[in-house]
Amino acid sequence: MKRTALAAAAVGLATAAAMGLSALPAHAAPPGANKDESGAQARASADPASLAAAVADKAVASGLDKLAKGPDEAYRRVSVTRGTSDMYFVGYERTYKGLPVVGGDAVVVTDSAGRVRDTVAAAGPNSQDVQTEARISAEQATEVAKGRLSRVDDSAAPRLVVLAWGAKPRLTWEAVVSGLAKGKPSIQHVFVDARTGKIADSYDDVREGSGNSYYYGQVTINTSGSGSSYSMTDSTRPGIQCGGQGGTAYTGPDDAWGNGQGTNLETACVDALYSVQREWDMLRDWLGRNGIDGSGRGFGARVGLSDVNAYWNGSYTNFGHNQANDRQATNIDVVAHEFGHAIFQTTPGGAGSGNENGGINEGTGDIFGALTEHYANNPNDPPDYLVGEEVDLVGQGPIRNMYNPSALGDPNCWSSSIPNTEVHAAAGPLNHWFYLLAEGSNPGGGKPSSPICSGGPASVTGVGVQKAGQIYLGALNRKTSSWRYTNARAASVAAAIELFGANSAECNTTKAAWSAVSVAAQSGEPACGTSTNDFALSLNPSTGSGQPGQQVTATVNTQTTSGSAQTVNLTASGLPSGVTASFNPSSVTSGNSSALTLSIGSSAAQGTYQITVTGTGSLTHTAIFTLQVGGTSTRDFSISASPASGTVQAGSAATTTIRTTTTSGTAQAVNLAASGLPTGATAAFNPASVTSGGTSTLTISTAPTTPAGSYNVTVTGTGETATHTTTYALTVQGTSGGRTFTNGTDYAINDYSTVQSPITSTATGSAVSPVKLSVTINHTCAEDLDIWLRGPNGQWYAVDRYGGTSCTSYGTRTYSVPVSQQAAGTWVLEVSDVYAGDTGRLDTWSITV
């Protein structure tokens, strides 16, 4: 990797009225909730992300609050994302009789102390008997979907899903087709009713919208390479690269890029990399997000799109030029806008359906553009709240105005017409809200005033752009696929309280800014400035079965999640005829538990019933107990690892297959987690959740610093009816034995000559960086020698460069060389004598990988 100062000029890529902007389709932790000693102990004793996953899985299994589900439904964990103030957001997909439920997603918010802080679901439990047999074939559905495009380039095999968007859930085929729609790139998810063959809904993944920089003068960008081979690939930010329409990164013989001209595409990539690297850093430093996708990765950028446009297509960003074709659309707020769509897509809920949801998506891009522009604070493009003004997309200056959207024809205020408003215009109320939250209605200091909609407060005082960004990302981490403006308000209020407290100015301003754009307070919305006493409720177990005349028991656990402990009164509802419930005791102080007994009378009918346990304190929380009367035995599963043990060198990874089996009843969703890992090791499951009977690949990655030793890693499978564990025996070996290789062949070193000495490594896994070299050369002028190392993947690394004002004998020297590649394969030491007068011999060299 090279950090290279790049000489600058001006680049401009405009976003046509048709881009993601177009008119066509060192972490400074903010003040948060009080952190007590138990939270610190939890962080010390468990990996926070694994703890968050385990706690959330239990919440899902108990059907807490908004996580209630029907008897034929299950949740599958899909993501764990860290937010600011040590909060974690655990995303879930829902299934119905084994089929994915689109629009049935949910999010569980936990803190680092292992407490559930919030639950959000896109839809409630499905009580309707949805047909699961399709009358329309997959091929027929694909043909219907293709009709959405004017030109079809590709299509994928459709999948059968239950679509929960709309008045009632229905069975549909989800077909993905790509090509052109109205002359623009399009990747459409089309939901075709599997019973009637009509289109039920659809959405589009495409969201429009020393190197010489056109826009920013002399800038520094991260690239990769060495010697005479360099690439516009950021080796420090995985996934970030820039190149042409073919999708490969630009390469060159040196690390100087572009000529500063607005029509030069290499220059456009300088601006694109500079912009997305600032966005990445802003996410890390201001908002606590790890990479564009929240998991440490980003996406590629392409330039040279032959269109007055720029867009995100679900996999990468693509940038065209302005209408005058004198600059490319790669300035900060345009680039950050397009990658803002990637953030929207990779937060829970993904990209939803409908113009209002699409407007929020477009506004999200504008918000991340403004945040990045403020973070970069580049004098060549001073931070503001205008979108695309540097690009001058269609010769009329900015394409959107965040402090007064109506100045460019977009609505300032939410109204009932927003769901039918074109998505870029529908972004107006969100953009307006963000400006009011960040700067206020009359910020002064040369910043523009912002109007307030009818019925709103007299004025709004801003909290600052960084805090506004923290609140909005906290809201995005609660997003579901059915998001509308009302959901965004509720989520942002919850985020403000979570980050800054109910008594904070940030809470009041968040609400005031929404009211100022005519998004009204929602039912059950927390009040600012009131007590934050709250508790959580859970059941263990959350399912049980019994015959008439028997009793089924469960423990009702409560926990104080904020403020002081309080009295919680317990009741049960939804009891079938013949079944009674009792609690011992019937009320508890939060933090304590009660025994729930369900007595099944002789008259109780056979069947499966969902009983709601309600805890009433200052707030009300619920959990669901699934009771099976008569019939088959309780559903259950088993879990195992194959192989059950493995040995790795420190710095390498071990893999095993986690197998699950349905042992009784019907299959169920099983969420996987690992504990007992050695220091420096991490565990990843692919997938993180399976339906019992399925398998997952567990990868345990160790660090070079992981201590040698034997470890029992516990793999926990949390199902809907039970939790089971299995053990994987991991042995970690040190990096000394078996990873040092030597070549003792002599090579003559003559004036102006080059010799190469190869070593073949049989070590497994990744090379431990830095690799260690020991080189012995009989030569009287070490300053004449230029020494390089080539790795098995062809990458060259500088070891010792020539140069000096006097000569010294070489002898034996050792080096530490940072690398990033596999250990196995052929490593080559290259020695060049670049001057006359001294000759010698390469005697021997060794490498420890």
Rounded distance between C-alpha atoms, residue 367 and residue 358, angstroms: 14
Look at residues 578, 561, 559, 581 and name the one whose alpha carbon lies nearest to residue 570.
Answer: 581
Rounded distance between C-alpha atoms, residue 258 and residue 266, angstroms: 5
Rounded distance between C-alpha atoms, residue 76 and residue 60, angstroms: 9
Name the most confidently modeled range: 497-511, 696-710, 761-775.
497-511
Q: What is the pLDDT of residue 746?
A: 83
Q: What is the pLDDT of residue 241?
A: 95
Radius of gyration of the chain (CA): 30
Confidence of residue 633 (pLDDT cuts 50, 70, 90): low
Task: Classify residue 602 by burial, with Cβ atoms within 10 Å: 0-12, 13-18, 19+.
Answer: exposed
Q: Is the pLDDT at 198 greater than 60, yes or no?
A: yes
Q: What is the pTM of this model?
A: 0.69
What's the pLDDT tens digit per position in 427-469?
999 999 999 999 999 999 999 999 999 999 999 999 999 999 9
Q: How large is the average pLDDT for residues 87-95? A: 91
Q: Is the pLDDT at 603 greater than 80, yes or no?
A: yes
Q: Is the pLDDT at 680 greater than 90, yes or no?
A: no
Three-class secondary structure assignment of 698-757: EEEECCCCCCCEEEEEEEEEECCCCEEEEEEEEEEECCCCCCEEEECCCEEECCCCEEEE
Report the percentage of the chain scoring pLDDT > 90: 47
Please list, residue by residue across 269-297, b when 16 or more beta carbons sit within 10 angstroms of its beta carbon and e when fewer do: bbbbbbbbbbbbebbeebbbbebbbbeee
Rounded distance between C-alpha atoms, residue 713 and residue 732, angstroms: 12
Place of tokens 């993180």: 688
Q: Is the pLDDT at 479 greater than 60, yes or no?
A: yes
Q: What is the pLDDT of residue 808?
A: 84
Rounded distance between C-alpha atoms, residue 116 and residue 56, angstroms: 7
Q: Is the pLDDT at 531 greater than 80, yes or no?
A: no
Q: Is the pLDDT at 208 greater than 70, yes or no?
A: no
Q: What is the pLDDT of residue 632?
A: 57
What's the pLDDT tens digit per position in 688-714?
888 888 899 999 988 777 777 788 898
Beta strands in 47-169 (DSSP E): 73-82, 87-96, 99-111, 116-121, 151-155, 159-163
Name the DSSP class of 85.
Answer: G
Report the percentage of the chain scoring pLDDT > 70: 92
What secondary structure does DSSP assign to 184-244, as a single string?
EEEEEEEEEETTT--EEEEEES-B---EE-SSSSEEEEEEEEETTEEESB-TTSTT-BEE-
CA distances from 391 to 337, 338, 430 (A): 13, 14, 22
Residues 6+ apart with CB under 8 A from 842: 746, 747, 749, 755, 757, 775, 776, 777, 829, 831
Confidence of residue 2 (pLDDT cuts 50, 70, 90): very low
